[in-house]
Structure 1
Amino acid sequence: MRIEVTRTGGFAGRTTRAELDTDARIDAPHVHALAREAVAGASRTPGYGVPDGYHYAIGVDGRTVYCADPNLTDSQRELISLVLNRGVERTA
């Protein structure tokens, strides 16, 4: 499974993008469950959060959903953190 996260917004307005491929991960079942929960709790259209808050686009195997701070579910927050911290950073 390939998971992509794009974070936009924030005070500086910087875009951060990272990608995580779960094929070789020993925790892949956990990550897959997180991804399913994160996608189920997100919107198919970009939404609005709070001023200077982060907005996220989460792509899982070609399907993209959107969420924003401070309204992230626990699974979205964990998945976003995992991908942005452990994934391969992509130029935006």
Structure 2
Amino acid sequence: MLITVTRTGGFAGGELTASLETECRADGAELERMAERALSSEGSAGRGPVPDGFSYIVQVDGKLMELQDPHLTEDQRKLIEAVLAEAV
């Protein structure tokens, strides 16, 4: 499963994109379950961005979800953090 996260906004207004492929990872199965739960959750769907907050585009095998901080579920937050850690 390919998971890509693009983060925009924040105080500086920068953009950061990271991807990970779950197939060859020891934690791949857990990341896949987390991605499925994150995409099925309400979270910030339908809520507008918060001033100086981050906005996220999460893509999981072609499925797309737009999310805004601080309106994230726990699974959404964990998934975003795990993927963006790959960019560091």
**Partner residue in 1 for 2:69:** 69
Which residue is equivalent to 1:37? 37
Q: What are structure 1's unaligned runs of at least 5 residues?
A: none
Distance 2:35 2:19 in 1: 13
TM-score, with length taken from structure 1: 0.86
Deviations 1:15-54 (A, max 9, x none): 10000001100111100111001111157x7752310100
Amino acid at match of 2:60: V
Aligned partner of 2:18 in structure 1 is 18
Give distance in 2, aligned partners of 1:55 and 1:80: 11
How large is the RMSD of aligned CA atoms in angstroms? 1.6
User: SS at the partner of 2:14?
Assistant: coil
- Supply the distance in 2 between the matched residues of 1:15 and 1:3 (Cα, whole angstroms): 17
Using structure 2 for the length normalisation, give the TM-score.
Answer: 0.89
Amino acid at match of 1:77: R
Across the two proteins, how many residue pairs are aligned to each other?
A: 86
> Moved runs in structure 1, 4+ residues, more than 4 A?
none
